[in-house]
Structure 1
Amino acid sequence: MLFDLDGTLFKTESLLVTVQRRVFETLREEGLYTEPEPPIERLLGSLGMLLDHIWLRVMPDGSTEARQRANELLLQYELEELEAGVGELYEWVPETLRTLKERGIRLFVASNGLESYVKEVPRLRGIGDLFEGFYSAGEYETATKAELVRLLLEKHGIRSAWMIGDRSSDVDAGLRNGLFVVGCDYAGFRKEGELDGSGAVIREFPELLTLLDAAAEA
């Protein structure tokens, strides 16, 4: 099973509200962006995109320098806040992942985020040891989620897998690589129709176990 991170395992808004405020306070102090702070919904609605595309959407009126600095600050403040205990996993994520691993399922993370963020969130929230690998666009410099997933599958010789995520990029990545796609409909900031094409949609994380049982009986 290949898991997206934000909006799938990690309740990103529990971290980003604080982080975005700090990012724009610093940009303002440094004179790089003087407009009002954008609504947090714009950032949350951009999750799943590559970072360069996120900042173009969040502050289209910002300079290239401001967006590059925002990238640096985002990672710095995310890691600081995570270390301080800010940010939480969705309910039942640790328990469900442990059950899956006990059943012999190989677990991976595949995210369009930065390398250190994608590795540190699971580690700092106590689930890092459950995963066989962490794949990020930041580390592998992939242009799409589909490309990242293809690389993961090839590297580990995986022929059959599930892609689990909350964004259209996850659905696309799964379908383009011939995987069964499970759409996660509990994050609250997806667009209408974003999970179209999923083989199944769950509204609570433990429903994965029910799907697995049903697949085993089929």
Structure 2
Amino acid sequence: MDSKTKQTYATRMTLLQKMQRQQDDAAWQEFVSIYEKYIYGVIFSMNISSEDAGDVLQDVLLKLWKKLPEIDLGDMRRFRSYLAVTVKNATYDLFRRESRRGGNTKVEFEERLHAIENISEPEVERIATAEWENYLTAKAMENVAKRFSEQALGVFNACLEGQDIKVYAAANEIPLSTAYRLKTRVKEALLEEIKALEEYLG
């Protein structure tokens, strides 16, 4: 993680604390830009349709806006788990509202409401962990990609997709030793970035 990125993510707890004290608009926009993709990942993991996802997201953000000032951050083990529980609650609220409206979709929403009710705490934690890992990996790769050449990223992505490094190196006229070195450098940087993001955002 470069110094600029590290400085950004080192302010995460400060950002949450600032939102608690003042509900600052700039801090809120920064929070949304950081966590929105993760929240969407959790939403879709709960089998929410793309048509409903936007409504659930807005409900989640509204709940967070209201609840963050009351949260004891020092007593919270994982903020990501709290977000996942908030998604479940927002989804439940959406389906409950829809089921009360009646009409042709009443039975459908009652069934979906029942399915959400049956998502256990361990399952919510499993979803939170899986989506957090996906989010961190994607974010880390986005950051790391800025520091490596197209050739290095090409080698790494090819291996990630299961291609034989020897075949790829030959096809792209890259010395095999160079290909291995590039792959190792990107992999090490990615793992370091994931670890740093986990520390600063987790």
Q: TM exceeds 0.5?
A: no
Larger Rg: 2
Instruction: Calculate the TM-score normalised by the size of structure 2.
Output: 0.26
| Greater share of residues in helix | 2
